[in-house]
């Protein structure tokens, strides 16, 4: 029976004059049964690093942070990260282990006390103890930490890393975190300092683009001029970045989950609690370094990408570099709705026929998506007395048609009931029924005509598609087009609104600056027609009062520019404007 010597960690602080602070706890003695089993108990103290704040353009070398010693009574050494806003704070997590070089072999720790601490929902702890088989008498021993996926002489820096919550970098242990130490005999125990050998990159992006605030940051991809992921050689000195790693990759993708599993929320200013994300990578200087951010629009559910390009960035081993970038200029590839209910870029149509331009993706929930028709409905009758009035009877007798008037501008912006106003009799006043099919006679001897022409033509836009030889299939069978509500038109505005556009705040004044050229190109690229932007009034299904319904008025404001303004003064019997159908999918 033997009583094992106790290993303690001391933590070194790098300053102009190197000095070492030793932290000890009482010697723990334990009798280990088994012949020749001599346990070395390791109580580890933390090694943390502060941030190196990178300039926003990322050019040039950025100084790393100095390490600091923990001052708690019990030494702390950790391998899972938590970003506090000023530094990375490390913890021990399940499956962590150490390697000891005894001069003949490199052996793995045989026991630890992690399991007994990680109970009751606890996923990380500040201290841990490890046991090694054997008797230790040398004055020093090299120690290695190679991460959860490493071996005694290999460290794998993952090309795909995943962070569950902001600030919580618990993934670094399985993503490539690593470290070394020299254990020094001190009486009946050993002291050592664990030094992290990987580098760390914490990003805290934000956005001043009003259309993206509240959106989701779903992934960050970094790409360098040389391998930053793969399986690297590792020895008592740390990572060997001179030799090319096995399974090399010049990029690392960090997937971000968030509390709702949809990503980290984008705020208007850098917010550690909202979206700090940490990547593990090998130390070194990279002549080119690109960062690609993937963002989901909070309104349309569409995914866009913005990329920043940097040069000559240095990452120092054991140090954490911080970058806060303003995410603007996010490019959202245009998606189209095809005849079979699928969506994709036009270049990926692969024989599918486009029938609409996606305004809002459905996020995998049928009926939650929204698309706008590629053409106006019945363009042959616009600008004539036969044009589609909102209510052809309005000039004879002003009546309420929807079950709800929405005269308030801000409330009208939130109206998403276009399909219900068009097709659901429960949303029309008693006796009207479905607006699409409602007819009336102007006089007893007059022929019947459709009372709500704009609703009728929008609701039957599918007939115009069929007349072009397009047959819808799959989930599009039975789907009905409708006259869009004002809120649905507003989603279109959000999609094509120019950055920095001042929002319209009240009826009949101001308006939204939209990129009319981009919108029209999106329609014409798929065989459609652009919007009529020569002071045309597109009907909304939102009813304001007995006399008027909301309209989306579009007029040119300059080359490739237009204003879309929501108006409240268009009488429901107006026949000189166009209509555009929308559809839920």
Q: Are residues 266 and 382 in the same domain?
A: no
Residue 312 Cα distances to 285, 301, 315, angstroms: 6, 35, 10
Q: Is residue 503 part of a domain?
A: yes
Contact 274, 264 (CB under 8 A): yes
Per-residue pLDDT in tens (0 to 9) along the chain, 585 residues: 333 333 443 333 333 333 333 323 333 333 233 322 233 333 333 333 334 433 333 333 322 321 112 223 333 344 454 444 445 667 778 888 999 999 999 999 888 888 999 999 988 887 777 778 887 889 999 999 999 999 999 999 999 999 999 988 889 989 999 999 888 787 777 777 778 999 999 999 999 988 889 999 999 999 999 999 999 999 999 999 999 999 999 999 999 999 999 999 999 999 888 889 999 999 999 999 999 999 998 877 888 999 999 999 999 999 999 999 999 888 888 999 999 999 999 999 999 999 999 999 998 899 999 999 999 998 776 555 567 899 998 877 789 999 999 999 999 999 999 999 999 999 999 889 999 989 888 778 888 888 999 999 999 999 999 999 999 999 999 999 999 999 999 999 988 888 777 889 999 999 999 989 999 999 999 999 999 877 689 999 999 999 999 999 998 877 777 899 999 999 999 988 889 999 999
Which is it for strands 320-323 and 199-203: parallel, antiparallel or unpaired? parallel
- Scanning the structure block, which residue is given the tokens 């929008």? 458
Nearest alpha-carbon partner for 6 in 73, 32, 92: 32
Burial class (CB in 10 A: 0-12, 13-18, 19+), 36: exposed
Q: Is residue 24 part of a domain?
A: yes
Q: Is residue 211 part of a domain?
A: yes
Helix (H) or strand (E) holding 311: strand 303-315
Q: Is residue 420 part of a domain?
A: yes
Q: Are residues 242 and 391 in the same domain?
A: no
Q: Are residues 384 and 297 in the same domain?
A: no
Those residues whose C-beta lies under 8 Å from the C-beta of residue 446, and which sit 6 or more positions away, are none
Please report the pLDDT score of residue 124 as a whole number.
84
Please report the pLDDT score of residue 108 as a whole number.
94
Q: How many CA atoms lie within 13 A of 300 on its CB side?
A: 27
- Scanning the structure block, which residue is given the tokens 């970045």? 241
Please report the pLDDT score of residue 382 as a whole number.
59
Tell which of 323, 338, 353 closes a domain. Answer: 323
Contact 227, 245 (CB under 8 A): yes
Compute the chain's Rg from CA coordinates. 33
Q: Is residue 10 part of a domain?
A: yes
Count of other CB atoms within 10 angstroms of residue 41: 22
Residue 400 domain boundaries: 378-459+480-579
Q: Are residues 49 and 160 in the same domain?
A: yes
Burial class (CB in 10 A: 0-12, 13-18, 19+), 471: exposed
Tell which of 287, 308, 323 closes a domain. Answer: 323
Within its chain, how far is the Cα of 258 from the centroid? 9
What pTM value is reported for the model? 0.68
Q: Are residues 399 and 309 in the same domain?
A: no
* Cα 193 from Cα 34, distance rounded (Å): 30
Q: Are residues 278 and 410 in the same domain?
A: no
Please report the pLDDT score of residue 22 as a whole number.
33
- Scanning the structure block, which residue is given the tokens 């012949």? 35
Q: Is residue 357 part of a domain?
A: no
Q: Is residue 159 part of a domain?
A: yes
Domain count, the chain: 2
Q: Are residues 274 and 208 in the same domain?
A: yes
Q: Are residues 304 and 393 in the same domain?
A: no
Q: Are residues 13 and 116 in the same domain?
A: yes
Residue spans of beta strands (DSSP E) within 84-228: 87-91, 99-101, 106-108, 111-112, 129-131, 140-145, 154-157, 160-163, 168-169, 179-186, 189-192, 195-196, 199-203, 216-224
Complete DSSP assignment for 77-118: --SEEEE-SSEEEEEB-TT---EEE-SS-EEE--EESHHHHS
Would you state the structure tokens that stand for residue 440, as one six-digit string? 């009336």
Q: How many CA atoms lie within 13 A of 231 on its CB side?
A: 9
Q: Are residues 385 and 298 in the same domain?
A: no
Within its chain, how far is the Cα of 107 from the centroid? 42
Q: Are residues 159 and 271 in the same domain?
A: yes
Count of other CB atoms within 10 angstroms of residue 333: 13
* Cα 356 from Cα 526, distance rounded (Å): 9
* Cα 488 from Cα 371, distance rounded (Å): 10
What is the three-class DSSP state of 381? helix
Q: Are residues 437 and 509 in the same domain?
A: yes
Q: Is residue 61 part of a domain?
A: yes
* Cα 228 from Cα 221, distance rounded (Å): 12
């Amino acid at each position: 029976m033997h009583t094992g010597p106790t290993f303690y960690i001391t933590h070194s602080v790098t300053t102009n004059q190197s000095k070492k602070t030793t932290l000890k706890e009482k010697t723990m003695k334990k009798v280990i049964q088994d012949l020749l089993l001599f346990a070395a108990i390791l109580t580890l103290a933390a090694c943390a690093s502060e941030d190196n704040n990178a300039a926003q353009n990322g050019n040039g070398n950025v100084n790393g942070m100095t390490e600091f010693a923990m001052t708690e009574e019990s030494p702390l050494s950790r391998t899972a990260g938590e970003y506090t806003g000023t530094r990375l704070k490390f913890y021990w997590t399940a499956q962590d282990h150490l390697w000891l070089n005894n001069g003949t072999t490199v052996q793995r720790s045989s026991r630890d006390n992690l399991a007994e601490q990680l109970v009751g929902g606890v996923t990380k702890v500040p201290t841990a103890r490890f046991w090694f088989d054997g008797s230790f008498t040398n004055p020093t021993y090299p120690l290695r930490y190679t991460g959860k996926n490493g071996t005694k002489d290999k460290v794998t820096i993952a090309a795909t890393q995943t962070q569950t919550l902001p600030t919580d970098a618990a993934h670094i242990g399985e993503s490539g975190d690593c470290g070394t130490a020299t254990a020094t005999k001190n009486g009946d125990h050993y002291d050592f300092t664990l030094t992290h050998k990987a580098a760390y990159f914490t990003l805290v992006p934000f956005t001043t683009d009003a259309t993206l605030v509240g959106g989701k940051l779903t992934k960050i991809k970094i790409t360098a001029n040389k391998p930053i992921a793969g399986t690297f050689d590792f020895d008592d000195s740390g990572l060997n970045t001179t030799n090319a790693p096995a399974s090399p990759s010049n990029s690392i993708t960090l997937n971000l989950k968030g509390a709702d599993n949809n990503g980290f929320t984008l705020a208007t200013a850098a917010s550690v609690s909202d979206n700090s994300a940490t990547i593990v990578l090998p130390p070194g200087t990279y002549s080119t370094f690109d960062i690609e951010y993937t963002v989901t629009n909070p309104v349309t559910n569409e995914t866009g990408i913005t990329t920043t390009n940097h040069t000559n960035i240095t990452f120092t081993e054991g140090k954490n570099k911080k970058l806060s970038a303003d995410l603007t200029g996010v490019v959202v590839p245009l998606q189209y709705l095809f005849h079979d209910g699928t969506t994709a870029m036009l270049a990926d149509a692969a024989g599918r026929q486009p029938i609409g331009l996606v305004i809002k993706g459905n996020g995998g929930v049928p009926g939650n998506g929204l698309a706008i028709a590629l053409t106006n409905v019945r363009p042959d009758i616009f600008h004539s007395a036969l044009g589609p009035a909102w209510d052809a009877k309005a000039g004879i007798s002003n009546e309420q048609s929807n079950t709800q008037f929405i005269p308030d501008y801000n409330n009208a912006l939130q109206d998403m009931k276009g399909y219900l106003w068009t097709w659901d009799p429960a949303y029309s006043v008693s006796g009207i029924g479905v607006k699409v099919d409602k007819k009336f006679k102007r006089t007893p001897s007059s022929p019947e005509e459709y009372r709500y022409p704009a609703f009728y033509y929008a609701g039957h836009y599918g007939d115009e598609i069929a007349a072009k030889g397009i047959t819808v299939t799959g989930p599009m069978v039975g789907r009905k087009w409708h006259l869009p509500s004002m809120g649905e038109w507003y989603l279109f505005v959000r999609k094509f609104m120019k950055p920095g556009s001042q929002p319209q705040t009240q009826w009949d004044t101001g308006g939204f600056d939209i990129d009319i050229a981009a919108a029209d190109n999106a329609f014409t690229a798929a065989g459609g027609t652009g919007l009529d932007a020569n002071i045309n009034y597109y009907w909304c299904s939102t009813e304001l009062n007995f006399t008027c319904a909301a309209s989306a008025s579009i007029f040119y404001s300059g080359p490739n520019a237009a204003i879309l303004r929501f108006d409240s003064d268009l009488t429901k019997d107006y026949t000189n404007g166009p209509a555009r159908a929308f559809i839920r999918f």
